[in-house]
């Protein structure tokens, strides 16, 4: 009985780390070593993209970005979102109602004792943010992204 109890406690303790363990086993077409990622990214961008951190709300200059263009992954430059789908959510992070085709993947994030849908780059696996079911039409989705995980490429005039 004691062994069963210990096993159950160990499994319960590991559950919050399951998405991290699962993410580390996925393969992506764009890969770098940890040292290469650290050289390529700023420390804050590394923490968000590679360690699944979250930037402080209302700190990203991309919140105020209103020009036509494309938001790309800061890790691998994959186009992720059109500026046409960006909207002001009031949450403090750049928000979009739809990603570009085949640009993102999702996993279940069970950190903080709740289930959320984590969004990652389909090419490099970088953590981008989360998606919620409280967005505007036409999708009803809110892709709440970390500005540090994105770059903006203005449309050519």
**How many other C-beta atoms are found inside a 10 Å radius of the C-beta of residue 93?**
24
Catalytic annotation, pick one of 73, 76, 121, 144: 144
Catalytic site includes residue 76: no
Per-residue burial over 47-60, b = 16 or more CB atoms within 10 Å of its CB, e = otherwise: bbbbebeebeeeeb
Phi-psi region of 101 (alpha: psi -120 to 50; beta: other; left: phi over 0): beta
Number of H helices, E strands in the chain: 4, 9
Question: Under 8 Å CB-to-CB from 134, ≥6 apart: which residues?
Answer: 140, 142
Q: Where does residue 14 rank: exposed (0-12), middle (13-18), buried (19+ CB within 10 A)?
A: exposed
- Residues with a catalytic annotation lie at 144
């Amino acid at each position: 009985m004691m062994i069963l109890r210990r096993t159950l406690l160990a499994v319960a303790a590991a559950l919050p780390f399951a998405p991290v363990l699962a993410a580390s086993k996925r393969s992506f077409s764009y890969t770098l070593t940890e040292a290469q990622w650290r050289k390529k990214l700023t420390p804050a961008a590394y923490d968000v993209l590679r360690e699944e951190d979250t930037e402080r709300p209302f700190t990203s200059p991309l919140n105020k970005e209103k020009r036509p263009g494309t938001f790309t992954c800061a890790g691998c430059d994959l186009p992720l979102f059109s500026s046409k789908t960006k909207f002001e959510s009031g949450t403090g992070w750049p928000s979009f109602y739809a990603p570009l085709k085949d640009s993102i993947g999702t996993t279940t994030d069970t950190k903080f004792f709740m289930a959320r849908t984590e969004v990652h780059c389909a090419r490099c696996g970088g953590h981008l943010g989360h998606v919620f079911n409280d967005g505007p039409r036409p999708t009803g989705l809110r892709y709440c992204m970390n500005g540090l995980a994105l770059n903006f490429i203005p449309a050519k005039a």
